[in-house]
Amino acid sequence: MRRKLIPLFTLILLIFLFATLFVPWPRSADLPEALPSATWTVLHLAARDGDLAALRAQLVAGADVDETIDPNDPDYGGTTALMMAAASGNTRAVEMLIDAGADLDRRDQRQTTALHWALEFSRFDAAAALIRAGADPNAENDNGARPLHLAARHGDRPVVRALIDAGAELDSLDVGGMSPLMRAAWQGHEEIVTQLLEAGADPNLTGDRGWTAVMSTARTGCAPCLDALLEAGADLHQRDALGRTALIIAVAHGTAEMTGHLLERGADPEDADAGDTTALSHAVLRQDPERVRLILDRGVQLDRATDLGLTPLMLAAQYRSVEIVERLLEAGASVDAQAPNGYTPLLWAARYGPVASLELLLEAGSDVHHQDEDGVNALMLAVREQNIEKVERLLSAGADPNDRSVDGATALWWAAAVGTPEVVERLHEAGGDPWATNHDDLTPRDIAAYRIDRDGETIKSYLERIGPDIE
């Protein structure tokens, strides 16, 4: 008896192993793997997994084809089996459920229909089946997105065509203030852009805060999309709520290639936004020498200031791109233009910029003695920044260490205040007066003594180099 049981057990084990290893089990398609809640039915699971046999059995048994998952389910609340099948791309399951009378336009807790689900997951065959069956092409979800927004964004030409033929609204705006045309342009779908324009989409429609399809192309860099829009009559000079044109958007946020293409297609290189920041200033702020070159080659105004009074050269002097400073100087930008606070490009460079930019400005003839509204000059700013290289360059260019600010402070006074022995020594060697007083009758030595408890080593170095011990 024992001998007969062993082969039988072995046979059962082999059958189990064969079924486990070689028989394909149903799998869900690309949806997040979640443990179904108690309100998930076999119908939902069969639709999700594309298990047609189980789906058919449930329908024959009288399952409610439109039964929904509990609205409180955080991911799938209000979802029907049709939505599950559509999102999973199980087109045959979609067709089976449609034939069983499933509500094509039922909405889940996010106001999303089965057609939205299919398009959101790029299940274009399932979407086509739903459109053929009469799904509403203008249903809006809680983001204001209609099926055409999603199809245009994902770039499926046949589905876009089907939606247009089904009566989809071409110029509707979603919650983001974007039309299907703007979405297609943003994604760089040239064929979809052309398709929508040929169907009658408005190339000059303005969305949220004045955004247009041309601005979408400027932002993302689709040159063929831009060409199609312009050929359809799009206005290259429209402005958004911030006063930006497509050129400003391309310079500030897009690519150098798109910047050049816009200029070739007629964009105005003198464009400025609501803050009077020109395309040139935006290129400087982007710290991109190529964009600066493209705009300079158009012969723009070099010293047009922003609403804060900053010229392109002032902006460039603050940043690390020495090449841009050099290009602007070669083009003839003013080295002594003044911001409202009296700062010149040299003062900006002394405070924030690299040494090389400071040198270029000095070589171009910038006034080394210029003082801002508080009487502060480039040397004082370099001292405050504790930058010995800048101090050296400015002294070599003739900066006077005894120039005084409005409050009577000299560069040496500031050196004592910030405690930089190396700078103190250099200024003293250049003739800085350690006895010069500010308006409070404090000399650099007084300041040094005051700071003795805060930075003993600094003060010790200062005293060793400048004078006798202080009692």
List phi, psi (to 5°) of 371.
-120, 145
Please say whether the beta carbons of 127 and 119 come within 8 A. yes
Q: What are the E-state strand segments in 136-214?
A: none
| The pLDDT value given to residue 418 | 80
Please say whether the beta carbons of 424 and 462 come within 8 A. yes
DSSP class of 377 = B
> Nearest Cα to 117, choosing from 89, 154, 155, 77?
89
pLDDT, mean of each 10-residue run, the chain (471 residues): 48 47 38 55 92 94 93 86 96 97 95 96 97 97 95 96 97 95 97 98 94 96 97 97 97 97 98 97 97 97 97 95 96 97 97 97 97 97 94 97 95 84 89 88 79 57 57 42
Task: Enter the tokens of residue 249.
Answer: 């958007």
Structure-token match 């210029």, residue found: 370
Distance CA 384, CA 390 (A): 11
User: What sign does the dihedral 53-57-59-63 (CA atoms) show?
Assistant: negative
Distance CA 10, CA 16 (A): 10
- Helices (H) and strands (E) counted in the chain, each on its own, are 27, 0
Please say whether the beta carbons of 305 and 311 come within 8 A. yes
User: What sign does the dihedral 298-302-306-311 (CA atoms) show?
Assistant: positive
| The pLDDT value given to residue 398 | 97
Distance CA 94, CA 48 (A): 10
Please say whether the beta carbons of 245 and 268 come within 8 A. yes
Distance CA 242, CA 253 (A): 14
Distances from the Cα of 108 to the Cαs of 48, 83, 235, in angstroms? 16, 9, 40
Distance CA 135, CA 114 (A): 8
Distances from the Cα of 130 to the Cαs of 156, 183, 204, in angstroms? 15, 22, 31
Distances from the Cα of 24 to the Cαs of 14, 20, 21, 45, 157, in angstroms? 17, 8, 8, 17, 34
Distance CA 224, CA 193 (A): 9
Task: Enter the tokens of residue 408.
Answer: 């009577």
Report the length, in residues, of the chain: 471
How much is the pTM?
0.84
List phi, psi (to 5°) of 377.
-110, 180
Please say whether the beta carbons of 40 and 69 come within 8 A. yes
> Nearest Cα to 50, choosing from 76, 70, 30?
30
